[in-house]
Amino acid sequence: MLINFVVKENTIHLMKPIIHIFIALLCLAAQTQMLAVTRYATRYNNFASLANHDKCEIKDGALHLANNMDENLMLMDTVQLTTSTFRYYVRIQNTHSKEGKRYTVTDSLGSKRKVESTEAGIVIKISEDDYWKATYYTRNRNQYDDITDQRLMDVCLCHYDGDNLLYAHDTTLVQNVNMTGGYNVLCVDANPETITVSIGEKKLRPVVTCPTQPYGQLESVGLYVGPGADVNLERAVLSYNDEPEQMVESGWTKETLDQHFAKSKNPYEGYWVYLDRDLEDKWLRLGGRYTVALVETETGYDIIYIDGAQVKKSLWHTGMMKGRMTNTIFPNNFNAQWIDATFQPFDLDVYATFESDVILNIKFPVYNSQMRFSKVIE
């Protein structure tokens, strides 16, 4: 993802209380057409668009779905996807992943069998039989050997066409995930060229990336519950843009901005130029030495692109939205959103501050990074 930089690895802290994350994201998603379409399924909206299966129940603040059948269960989101570029992440718990436990499943004829490593995750449905799944399950390396045994998690990305497995890639994890039946966050970032799967208990880390042929028309995304799995879903978030270039048009031009600033008495309104940056190079690289304009709104400031793009330069023109700053209870401190060079919004734990009234600092703490702009003083 390109911010003012290109993100090489998506690493998202998940340490804040869940209600704070939900409210912050919901407020950002509700603002203006520049945002990607974002759909939430949580206890706060009764898991809207996902609680559509007769086996679902809301229990203890989570959406509970148990699969005691010897077949895959897919709980599809009712949102129809019209783009192949999207992010879908879920915070889920598979309680049937206890060490040494086996779980009974029944097939359509009533025959029973035991399964040990039950699987849960995300499904991307292209058509009735054509789908991708990004799932995880836990196992032991050598359960009955006290010396060599180790608890492991396998993360799998697979493409199926009916019963035919077209693509499969697994990776084995030994840390940074919950392997004892607790919650993990699983995330899929998809575009026409690649699918990236990230997972973590407290921080997302990309673990699988694969090239993919163009999807054609997608149907939807949803939750995958394998035979014997018993899943609690705490939240699911789907973000996508239908026509990203159109969604960031602000209506401002250089002429109307000049006219507006000539009358403005707000010291923060005006033009700001790229000053410097402090980036974690293993995650981010600079996407442009931007000049932007700040325009006051009822809730803070709009950040308007003027020039300076280096990545995807031909797609950017003066007047496009580059971000938004929203007031907080603290003076000169704002919740922020940044529109990256591919027109994707970056808004999780981003904030902005003014320093000495002439420096604007936009911070991305989960990447241990920041960029600064200086005010143009005439």
Q: Is the pLDDT of residue 215 over 70?
A: no
Structure tokens at 166: 């077209």
Domain membership flag for residue 203:
yes
pLDDT digits (tens, 9 = 90+) for 288-337: 899 999 999 988 999 999 999 998 888 889 999 999 999 999 989 999 98
Domain membership flag for residue 2:
no
Q: Is the pLDDT of residue 6 over 50?
A: no
Q: Is the pLDDT of residue 366 over 80?
A: no
Of 24-33, 140-149, 304-313, which gets the smallest average pLDDT? 24-33
Domain membership flag for residue 4:
no
Rounded to whole angstroms, the Cα distance separating 77 from 219 reads: 9
Domain boundary among 240, 259, 288: 240
Report the domain count for the chain: 2
- 135 Cβ neighbours under 8 A, 6+ residues apart: 119, 120, 121, 122, 155, 156, 158, 224, 226
- 265 Cβ neighbours under 8 A, 6+ residues apart: none
- Residue in this structure with the two tokens 């604007």, named with its chain if needed: 360
Domain boundary among 240, 261, 290: 240
Claim to verify: residue 273 and residue 204 sit in the same structural domain: no
Claim to verify: residue 267 and residue 221 sit in the same structural domain: no
Claim to verify: residue 106 and residue 201 sit in the same structural domain: yes
Percent of the chain with pLDDT over 90: 50
Mean pLDDT of the 349-377 span:
91
Domain membership flag for residue 29:
no
Q: What is the DSSP string of 48-115?
A: TTT--STT-EEETTEEEEE--BSS-EEEE-SPPP--S-EEEEEEEEESS--TT--EEEE-TTS-EEEE
Claim to verify: residue 274 and residue 197 sit in the same structural domain: no
- Position 35 scores a pLDDT of 37
Domain membership flag for residue 122:
yes
Backbone φ and ψ for 31, nearest 5 degrees, come out as: -90, 125
Claim to verify: residue 236 and residue 279 sit in the same structural domain: no
Task: Looking at the chain, list the stretches that DSSP marks H as alpha helix, in order from N- to C-terminal side.
Answer: 18-29, 244-247, 254-263
pLDDT digits (tens, 9 = 90+) for 146-199: 777 789 999 999 999 888 998 899 999 999 999 989 999 999 988 777 889 999
Claim to verify: residue 131 and residue 272 sit in the same structural domain: no
In whole numbers, what is the pLDDT of the chain averaged over residues? 83
Domain membership flag for residue 23:
no
Backbone φ and ψ for 124, nearest 5 degrees, come out as: -115, 110
Claim to verify: residue 230 and residue 252 sit in the same structural domain: no
pLDDT bracket for residue 278 (50, 70, 90): confident
Output 312 or 343, whichever has higher pLDDT.
312
Q: 155, 204 in Cβ contact below 8 A?
A: no
Claim to verify: residue 235 and residue 276 sit in the same structural domain: no
Domain membership flag for residue 3:
no
- Position 52 scores a pLDDT of 79
Domain boundary among 240, 271, 295: 240
Claim to verify: residue 198 and residue 256 sit in the same structural domain: no
- Position 154 scores a pLDDT of 95
Claim to verify: residue 54 and residue 191 sit in the same structural domain: yes
Q: Which domain holds residue 257?
A: 244-375
CATH classification of the domain holding 112 = 2.60.120.200
Claim to verify: residue 287 and residue 347 sit in the same structural domain: yes
Q: Indicate whether this model's pTM tops 0.85.
A: no
Mean pLDDT of the 334-363 span:
87
Claim to verify: residue 265 and residue 201 sit in the same structural domain: no
Domain membership flag for residue 367:
yes
CATH classification of the domain holding 298 = 2.40.128
pLDDT digits (tens, 9 = 90+) for 65-101: 999 999 999 999 988 777 778 899 999 999 999 888 9
